[in-house]
Structure 1
Amino acid sequence: MRTWAWEWTLPAPPGRLWPLVSDTDRLNRLAGLPPVKFRFEPLPAGGSRTVAEARLLGGLLRLRYREAPFEWVANRRYAVRRVFGRGPLRWYTATVELHPAGAETRLVQTIVLCLRWKFIRPLIPLAESRMRARFARAYARLAEEAGAGAAPAGAGPRASTAEEKALRLLGRARPPLEGEVRRLLARHIAAAPDHEVRAIRPFALARRFGRPRPEMLEACLAGVEAGALDLTWAVLCPHCRGAQQRAASLAEITSESYCPACNVHFEAQFDLSLEATFSPVPSLRRVEAETYCAGGPQNTPHILHQVVVPAGQSREEEAELPPGAYRVRSPQSPAYVSLRALPPAAPGEQRLEIALGPEGLTPPQSDLPGGRLRLVCRNRTAGEALFLLERTAWADDAATGLDVAFFDRYRRLFGADAFRPGEGLAVQNVVLLFTDLKGSTAMYEAAGDAAAYGRVRDHFGILLAAIRENGGGLVKTIGDAVMASFKAPEEAVRAALAMHAGIARWNAERGREPLVLKMGIHAGHALVVNSNDRLDFFGRMVNISARTQEASQGGDIVLTPPVFEDPGAAALLAGTPHREEPLSLSLRGLEGSFQLRRIWPLAG
């Protein structure tokens, strides 16, 4: 057995280094390690075993090994163990630890090897020297990026040429892409590492560059229109976030999916697991498709803590838990533990014990102050178990089907793209806003077709601008009525208020018979289906939304409880001059009585 222990002091704190050094796919690529092919073998108790193969010496030496799940605590350390069926090694473990040292980090990497071929012992010192030098260069590069914001590896003259070409292509979109966002996207396409452009996530780019999310999504779709980018739909596993289906068209997506890494079947959801990503067209930039590591922490950055616990044993680890929503899960458990980290009341360490037994994980939920946490994981089963602590908001950077499919430029480019007839995806939560013009039939009779059509067209312009500016998407128009979708009740209410304000300004400027808008908003679960070769929503929730609009008298907004009880919508209304009226009504074609709230916006 041989142990290699290396240490470097890097000029950046652990929090900035962690996303870079724990990206083991890129780290191994920078260190000159060979690409690896992975497959997954399902385990009867849940989860899977990773089996991998790599080739050395120009393909002459083939290494096959079983890889245990990576273990890590975010911002502190990670480790992995690999067991070889044949070849020079029996097994090895690799550990990387980050220790704060003022504004710097002391990085310690330890590799322990158990040899099978004893005759290679004299070569071990040379192998260690070369490997240490390779990782030293890789860490220096990553520290430079973390500390000084250097251009990613791969930037250079060739990247400059690709950036110029990308700029030209992005300028061909109609309307053309202009300004800073065009330059940022072109530079990212040309100079970012392969793994960052293999699947460009527009909302992640927006967060990185400090740009509005709709602007970056618009830019990526403009790139598709201009021939600079390809769009791919991916169905993500709800556990590991790995893409289990990839398709250029929604018509190729199916609702049922399977993740071999997690060994779970799951139903794809339109607003949670269907994500649109983008990649450069090959004529602009060829992206390396090889994989160098598939199990490292940055493959699943929403997981803060991952640990393997042998049967009948426990593991105790310290972690930082900022306020927010989390969960603890295990592939060996059908249930998970919901955690809510509250703002810390006082300094100090919190202790939380999670147990895995024959019935699954316990306790089912827990609230605790955020901050330093001592997490105790107890395995009371007869087999090895994996415990994972993860953020539940892992999909925040995903441009989901709900974000993209009703976006203006997407509908213009891919209006006929829809699921196959009979196929559809569930939406866990969507907010639907229905509008209608009051007295439009009488308006056509009084003003004539041409004048009335002009007024309706102006009204559509006001409504579409309010939808777009508040994060919504136009689903369809029905005569002079509009159906729009939003991800949050607050967005829909803000859009509705903007619509009334816009119509009021139009009325004041024209001085004619005023336009009066009726509106209703509801939120809930629905299905997205193919309706006449277009995407549309289906279900009882849609019927309630439409009937809520029918309860509007004009100039008001009628809300259902999932909307007016939403904290964001309630806070928005609390700061908006209005009067409100509780309603208890029956809605046409629906059973029972509905408790609604009518909102009358006031000029303020």
Structure 2
Amino acid sequence: MSQVDALFPPLRQVADSQAVAAIEHLVREAPDRALHRVNALAFAKDNGVDEEQAIAAFLHATRLGLFEMSWNVLCPACGGVLDAGTSLKSINRAEYRCAFCAIGYEPNLDEIVEVTFTVSPRLRQIAGHDPNGLPIWEYCRQMFWSSGVALPENLESVVEEITLEALELPPGEKAILSLQLPEKFVIIFDPVTHATQFIDVKGAAARERQSLSLVFDHAMAASEPVELHPGPVRLSLENHRDVRLLPTVWVADERLNDLVARRRPYLTAKRLLTNQTFRDLHRTDMLDVDQRLKITSMTFLFTDLRGSTELYDRIGDLAAYDLVRAHFRVLSESVVAEAGAVVKTIGDAVMATFPTPQQAIAAAFRMREGMRRLNKEQQREDLYLKIGIHEGPCLAVTLNDRQDYFGQTVNVAARVQGVADARAICATGSVIDDPQSSRLLKTVGVRPEPHSTVLRGISDEMTIYEIP
């Protein structure tokens, strides 16, 4: 029996059958490169699988040891991977700098951190498990560029058009290159260390051979640009690292820009943190207690069950408890159906997160309809839900051994729920003004009604919209 035959049955029991079948086919039939740093969103599109089902299947596969998860810090400009770790805890720098683009970035979980999946060696051995053995262009494809860069199948031929020289440089070795420099901007770049040297080639053609020496000894090092003349140059490259390097000399023209400009959606850390399956399965991949990672846009939904205290007094603890549990099931199902996650319950209230305002509003509609059905089933009319929604920046933190969120956006969302009447959905302008939210509200024929109010603990008056 093969490893695939032995290890896939447990995955079939916990994940969507179509998604599991697609993953199994990937493992059995796909080339090695397709199993290294898999883009879950591209995988879902290519295989006609629902994105959330694909993400959940890969998360379950990771939990079962079939795949390994990687958290990759990206450069938004070139799509290069600046750092990679097996856990969110590995993102611990105040700034990540891309030497290739000469730009530094403060890490945030919206677009700068992607999550990918690589097949486990126990399931299938692939070349990507030993990056030091990858040919240079496969190394660039599989290790340097992120899964969000839509690289062409013929990458090698495309890159060779802009390549003046490329070589493998073993540890401790030195290489001498003789080149003819064109009158263009040239980059010497090593995708292993990200070390970069910019060369501005201009002026009169050189009559004598020019010389330039580079020593590779520090990861992510970027040197000041140098000016050289078109014509012959002698490059001296020394590898002082203990790993093989892959220095290349590229012409930085529109062909290189076109190559890195090809983008596709990818699974962001923010989206994964708002995924209920991830929160349920991978609690150990949450933040360290002293980590504070920024999210530039997160949507928070707070609920409260009106009259729950009177409910316990009126029908007794046991019956009331069963009703409250049924209400929590309705809310959890509504959140998961719209790609959100329940962060925590507070008494009879729920705090949930969503990647976008539109998903939060859609979940609120589901909650309200679910509560109507629950009231009908229970032959009662006294289970009413108050809902508040707000969107904005926040910090992802760990509180009480649980991944949580901190900031004024969270406070405002909770206060918005506090001003909602029974059965009401209240939201702020940042939620209502979101283009996708506006389309959803228009589609269902709902016009939010604005009201000015002062929220407790918030100094400025705010406009709150009630969604009937």
- Cα drift, residue 167 of structure 1: 5.0
Deviations 1:249-287 (A, max 9, x none): 222221432334334321121121222211122111112
Distance 1:169 1:488 in 2: 36
Alignment of 1:453-472 (within 5 A): 453-472=321-340
Are 1:277 and 2:121 counterparts? no
- Cα drift, residue 458 of structure 1: 0.7
Distance 2:10 2:367 in 1: 32
Is the Cα–Cα contact under 8 Å of residues 432 and 522 in structure 1 kept in the other structure? yes
Match of 2:298 in 1: 430
- Cα drift, residue 417 of structure 1: 3.2
Distance 1:386 1:303 in 2: 17
Are 1:286 and 2:125 counterparts? yes
Is the Cα–Cα contact under 8 Å of residues 528 and 538 in structure 1 kept in the other structure? yes
Are 1:599 and 2:467 counterparts? yes
Match of 1:538 in 2: 406
Quick one: which of 265, 270, 293 aligns to 1:402?
270
Quick one: which of 290, 307, 311 aligns to 1:443?
311
- Cα drift, residue 462 of structure 1: 0.8
Distance 2:115 2:141 in 1: 23
Distance 1:406 1:167 in 2: 32
Quick one: which of 69, 85, 90 aligns to 1:247?
85
Distance 2:20 2:304 in 1: 37
Deviations 1:111-143 (A, max 9, x none): xxxxxxxxxxxxxxxxxxxxxxxxxxxxxxxxx
Is the Cα–Cα contact under 8 Å of residues 416 and 534 in structure 1 kept in the other structure? no
Distance 2:140 2:283 in 1: 38
Deviations 1:20-57 (A, max 9, x none): xxxxxxxxxxxxxxxxxxxxxxxxxxxxxxxxxxxxxx
Match of 1:550 in 2: 418
TM-score when scaled to structure 2?
A: 0.72
Distance 1:429 1:390 in 2: 29
- Cα drift, residue 295 of structure 1: 5.5
Secondary structure at the aligned position of 1:582 is classed as strand
Is the Cα–Cα contact under 8 Å of residues 237 and 244 in structure 1 kept in the other structure? yes
Distance 1:404 1:565 in 2: 25
Is the Cα–Cα contact under 8 Å of residues 416 and 533 in structure 1 kept in the other structure? no
Distance 1:574 1:178 in 2: 33
Is the Cα–Cα contact under 8 Å of residues 115 and 267 in structure 2 kept in the other structure? yes
- Measured at CA, do residues 257 and 291 of structure 1 come closer, stay the same or move farther in structure 2, by a change above 3 Å? farther
Deviations 1:345-373 (A, max 9, x none): xxxxxxxxxxxxxxxxxxxxxxxxxxxxx
Quick one: which of 368, 380, 383 aligns to 1:500?
368
Distance 2:260 2:68 in 1: 30
Match of 2:62 in 1: 224
- Cα drift, residue 595 of structure 1: 0.9
- Cα drift, residue 385 of structure 1: 6.5
Deviations 1:267-326 (A, max 9, x none): 121121222211122111112132431557994735999999x99989xxxxxxxxxxxx
Distance 2:420 2:280 in 1: 31
Match of 2:242 in 1: none
Quick one: which of 25, 35, 51 aligns to 1:197?
35
Distance 1:532 1:416 in 2: 13
Distance 2:325 2:29 in 1: 44
Distance 1:312 1:438 in 2: 73
Are 1:487 and 2:325 counterparts? no
Is the Cα–Cα contact under 8 Å of residues 581 and 597 in structure 1 kept in the other structure? yes
The one-letter amino acid paired with 2:82 is Q
Distance 2:419 2:261 in 1: 37
Higher relative contact order (CA 8 A, sep 6+): 2
Distance 1:239 1:263 in 2: 10
Structure number with higher strand proportion: 1
Greater mean alpha carbon deviation, residues 210-219 or residues 242-251: 242-251
- Measured at CA, do residues 385 and 244 of structure 1 come closer, stay the same or move farther in structure 2, by a change above 3 Å? closer
- Measured at CA, do residues 392 and 533 of structure 1 come closer, stay the same or move farther in structure 2, by a change above 3 Å? farther
User: Unaligned 5+ residue runs, structure 2?
Assistant: 153-157, 163-180, 186-197, 200-250
- Cα drift, residue 390 of structure 1: 8.3
Is the Cα–Cα contact under 8 Å of residues 244 and 257 in structure 1 kept in the other structure? yes
- Measured at CA, do residues 442 and 422 of structure 1 come closer, stay the same or move farther in structure 2, by a change above 3 Å? same
Match of 2:106 in 1: 267
- Cα drift, residue 532 of structure 1: 1.9
Root-mean-square deviation (CA, aligned residues, Å) is: 3.0
- Measured at CA, do residues 477 and 395 of structure 1 come closer, stay the same or move farther in structure 2, by a change above 3 Å? farther
Deviations 1:449-492 (A, max 9, x none): 22111111111111111111112122221111111111221111
The one-letter amino acid paired with 1:438 is R
User: Unaligned 5+ residue runs, structure 1?
Assistant: 1-160, 315-330, 333-383
Secondary structure at the aligned position of 2:77 is classed as coil
Greater mean alpha carbon deviation, residues 174-183 or residues 227-236: 174-183
- Cα drift, residue 556 of structure 1: 1.1
- Measured at CA, do residues 393 and 481 of structure 1 come closer, stay the same or move farther in structure 2, by a change above 3 Å? farther
- Cα drift, residue 179 of structure 1: 2.4
Distance 1:551 1:390 in 2: 51
Deviating runs (4+, > 4 A) in structure 1? 294-300, 302-308, 310-314, 384-387, 389-393
Secondary structure at the aligned position of 1:171 is classed as helix
Is the Cα–Cα contact under 8 Å of residues 170 and 176 in structure 1 kept in the other structure? no
TM-score when scaled to structure 1?
A: 0.56
- Cα drift, residue 174 of structure 1: 8.4
Match of 1:211 in 2: 49
- Cα drift, residue 554 of structure 1: 1.6
- Cα drift, residue 225 of structure 1: 2.4
Alignment of 1:23-422 (within 5 A): 165-173=3-11, 175-255=13-93, 256-288=95-127, 289=131, 290-293=134-137, 299=145, 301=149, 388=257, 394=263, 396=265, 398-422=266-290
Distance 2:301 2:99 in 1: 39
How many corresponding residue pairs?
A: 369
Secondary structure at the aligned position of 1:190 is classed as helix
- Cα drift, residue 177 of structure 1: 3.0
- Cα drift, residue 220 of structure 1: 0.6
Distance 1:232 1:246 in 2: 6
Distance 1:500 1:279 in 2: 40
Secondary structure at the aligned position of 2:285 is classed as coil
The one-letter amino acid paired with 1:197 is L
